[in-house]
Structure 1
Amino acid sequence: MRWIGATLVAVGTAMPAQAQTFVDLFAGKSFPQRSATTLTAAEARINDTVIPAEVRVDVERLRLSNSTIFGARVGHWFDWFGIAADASTLDPDVKRQTIRATANVRFDEEVFGEEVVIDPGRSVAVDIPRVTIPTTATFAALAMVRVPRGGVEPYAFAGPVYLVTDSDISGDWGVRAGGGAKLPIGRRVALFGEYRYTRVAASAVAGRVGGEARGVTGTTGDIRVDATLRNHSAVGGVSFAF
C-alpha cells in the first residue's frame, strides 16, 4: 500500500523517538463488504446407509449490516518500530435481503419457511430474513511503524488476525492492516483516529436437510457454511503511554 511505503520513507527524516509501552482503547463503526458464501455437504445417508455426495450451493453477494465495534490494543515502541496485540469486537448480522444462488445438483427444500427450488447450473432469487450473528471478536498480532514528530504522529500496522466466536461458528486466520495518527494532549496521553481493514474466514454447521418418500428416508451430512469476511472500520480512542 502506498501510504505504508510513505510512512517508512518518512521515518528517515523523523525526530528521534523513545522506547515506550502503550495501551490504546477505541470504539468506532464497522462497514463490511458484501461476501460470497458457500454451502456444502460431503455425504448423504439413505435408510441409515452412508453414500458419497457432493452438494454445493453458492450464494452471491451476501449483505452484512454495519455495526459498532469496541477494542483495546497493548504494545511497545522500540523506536520508530513497534509490536502490539489487538482485540476488538466484530458483529456482522445478515440483513434481510434477496440473494441469488446456484447449485451443482437439484435443490428442493424449505429454507426460512419458504420452498426453494434450484436446478443445477441455474441462478435463482431467494428471500432471506434478517439473521442475527452472535457477537464475535478478533485477536491480532501487529507489527507497527510510526513517524515521531513531537506533535501529530502518523503510524501504520499490519499482521495476522484470528476470529473467535461461540461454538456454532468456527473462526480462522486472516489479516489486519491499517493506519492512523495520534495527537498528544498530555505527556502520557494522546487521542487517535485510524482506519482498519480486516479479512478473515469463518464457517458454521447449519444442520441437515432430509425427507422421506415411498418409505425411503434420506438426509444430507452436516451442511457447512463458509464465508470470507472483509471488513472496513473507522475508530477513534485514547492512548496511554508508560
Structure 2
Amino acid sequence: MTADGVAVTTRAGAVRAGAAILTVSTAVLAGDALRLPSGADPWREAAAALPLGRNEKVFLEIGRDTAFEPDTHAYSNLHDSRSASYSIRPNGWPVIEAFLGGDGARIVEEEGPAAGFAHVSAELVALFGSDVASAVRPLAATSWSRMASIGGAYSCALPGRSQARARLAQPFEDRLFFAGEATHPHDFTTAHGAHDSGRRAADEAIAALSGRRLLGRQGPLAAGARAVG
C-alpha cells in the first residue's frame, strides 16, 4: 500500500494506482505466492475457508462420421466416482467434451493428459461400442489443479464457513478490492457469478476513488457537511 493508493510489484517493475481489484483464485490468495499488505490476514483466512474443488475437462476430436447426434449428453457409470459426463458434438462441432470431477479429475491431475484420454476413451467404448475407439482422438485437456496460477477448479466453502464469501468480498482499506466467483453470495462456482462480482468490485473502487477526489477538492469538513446535508 502507498500513501495515496496501491503499488503492485511484478517482475517487469512496479505499477501504481489509486486502487486495485484482486481476482486470483482462493488457492493463490490463501497461499504464499502473493505478498499482501500487513493486516490482510482475515482475507487470506477467508480464502482458506473456500478451497478449490477438483475438476478437469478432456476434449476428443471425432475423426470420422459416427452415429453421434449433435448436442447430446451422456453419463458413464454413475456408481463410479471416476466416471465423466459427456457433451457430444456441442453446436454440431466434431468434438466430445468429457467433464471429470473428484477421483476422475485426479487421474488427469496426477497421471497426466494421456491417462485422462485413455480413461474417457474406455468409458466411451463401454457406452457406445468398440467402433468409437477408432473414431475419436485426443484433442486437448485442462490442467487447472496443476497450474500454480489457479490451483484447482471453483470454490467450495468448508462446512459451516459459507460466511467467508462475504468476508472475502469486503474491501481492504478502500484501496484493495476483491472479485471472483468465490466472493459471490449466491452465484459462486459460476462464470456469471464471477462476472457480476467483477462489476461489483469495480463499482466499489470507482465509488472509493470518487469519494477520495471529492475529499481532496473540498477538504474533510466540506465533504462531511455535504454528506450530512
Shorter-chain TM-score bucket reads: under 0.3
TM-score of the superposed pair, with normalisation by structure 1: 0.23
State TM-score, norm by structure 2. Answer: 0.24
Greater share of helix residues, 1 or 2?
A: 2
Whose strand fraction is larger, Structure 1's or Structure 2's? 1
